Amino acid sequence: MVQPNQFETVNGFARDTITLANWRTRPYCFWSFRNVSEMVRSARIRTSGPRPLPALAGNPEILARPAWPGAGQSMTELLARAQTDSLVVSRGAGILWEWHAPGVDRSDPHLIFSISKSIAALVAGILEDQGLLNPDTTIMELVPEVRGSAYEDATIRDLLDMRVSLDFDESYLSQGAYARYRRAMGWNPSIGDGSETDGMLALLRTLDKAEHAHGGDHAYLSPNSDMLGIVLERASGERFADLCSRLLWQPLAASADAFITVDNLGAPRTAGGISVRPHDLLALGEMLLSGGIGKGGRIVSERWIKDMRTMGDPDAWARGTQADFLEHGRYRSNWYQVGGGSNAFLAAGIHGQFLYCDPDTDTAIACTSSQHEPQSDGIDQEMLAMFAAICAAP
């Protein structure tokens, strides 16, 4: 007798219905965002050894509170509306509480999209402190293939601060340039134009410069961070997955290996392809709140953290493409600063990924989600308000 299909019983759809054409949409992304290495070629970012997760720290009383003072919804209600998968909160490097959606295993790795950019920037900062990377270096000095493209005379600092002059449209649902970009990284199905076999560098070297100079207003464009991954590999002589493992994941004593998607030729998707456990994402925030110290000692320099937290240009931000995200914000080294009297800083990714760090209360919040839409400005603002309220609560 044929037995019921367990995958379909648990998930409500058959495994063979998930494809590169639909894996980033509901209902499929609830599963695929926690199983990306089964969808897209991936490299392993190894930890120094698997470690058990801390005991589950639930707190239903907190979750029943208003999402922020005066909110007409509880935290639980907002998390459900935001299609959140996991939320883990720590203070003083000790977990306060955590929440996971029904069907989510707390040990699952989760795709964190553009938080990958922030992780790549940490690796860049470590290389800078080691004297192996100078942010003022032009990209072409390390990647001569970009001659004739927008990146020819841009610097690594321009990449890190999203101030490259680039003629590119960051429209996630576009069937034009962005879809071609996703085929090059192996995230979209082939249409037979060769872009998925030529790889990301072949695409990046075709991108033109916009009319203005580099170093101008903040312009959030993901190709910049994929170029950063290529730069890091050239500067170090190592594949990004191995470099990130050696400099960050192993010293962090992460509980499990992370993963990063790679293109057909092995180039890393440092703009958005990293998958990690929520608790390991939290540990990354705790390390930054501790001044760059992890369980195994110093990982990131205090100098770099101070620069990241204080040197973002508020005017470039206010005139830039993301000013609505944070009214008083700044952006430096692929990290956001909240501003407006707050010392909080964060990393964020589409479909509802956040790592929120508040130095004033020593609170870190890791949030992973599987939202159907890539962006929802309203929900983003509600989540940021909830994070601030969590940090302010005793």
Report the DSSP beta bridge partners of residue 363: 91, 358
Q: What is the mean pLDDT of residues 271-284?
A: 98
Q: Tokens 């609560």 sit at which residue?
A: 393
Measured CA to CA in angstroms, residue 50 lies from 90, 99, 105 at distances of 21, 22, 16
Closest by Cα among 69, 67, 72 to 99: 67
Identity of the residue numbered 16: D
Specify the DSSP element, H or E, that contains 356.
Answer: strand 353-358
Predicted confidence at residue 60, as pLDDT, reads 82
Encode pLDDT of 214-259 as tens digits: 999 999 999 999 999 999 999 999 999 999 999 999 999 999 999 9
Gap between the Cα atoms of 184 and 318, Å rounded? 32
pLDDT value at 4 more than 80: no
Encode pLDDT of 55-96 as tens digits: 998 888 899 999 999 999 999 999 999 999 999 999 997 999
Contact 18, 28 (CB under 8 A): yes
Predicted confidence at residue 248, as pLDDT, reads 98
Q: What is the mean pLDDT of residues 332-337?
A: 98
> Rounded to 5 degrees, what are φ and ψ at 331?
-145, 130
Helix (H, G, I), strand (E, B) or coil at 348: strand
End-to-end Cα, the chain, rounded Å: 58
Per-residue pLDDT band for 324 (boundaries 50, 70, 90) equals very high
pTM: 0.97
Least confident of 177-181, 289-293, 388-392: 177-181
What ranges make up the beta strands (E) of 22-83? 42-45
Encode pLDDT of 121-138 as tens digits: 999 999 999 999 999 999
Per-residue pLDDT band for 2 (boundaries 50, 70, 90) equals low
Can you list the domains of the chain with their CATH numbers? Answer: 1-32 (no CATH), 33-392 (3.40.710.10)
Whether the upstream peptide bond of residue 27 has omega within 30° of 0, thus cis, is yes
Pairing state between β 330-332 and 335-339: antiparallel
Tokens of 77: 């209600």
Helix (H, G, I), strand (E, B) or coil at 346: strand
Per-residue pLDDT band for 170 (boundaries 50, 70, 90) equals confident
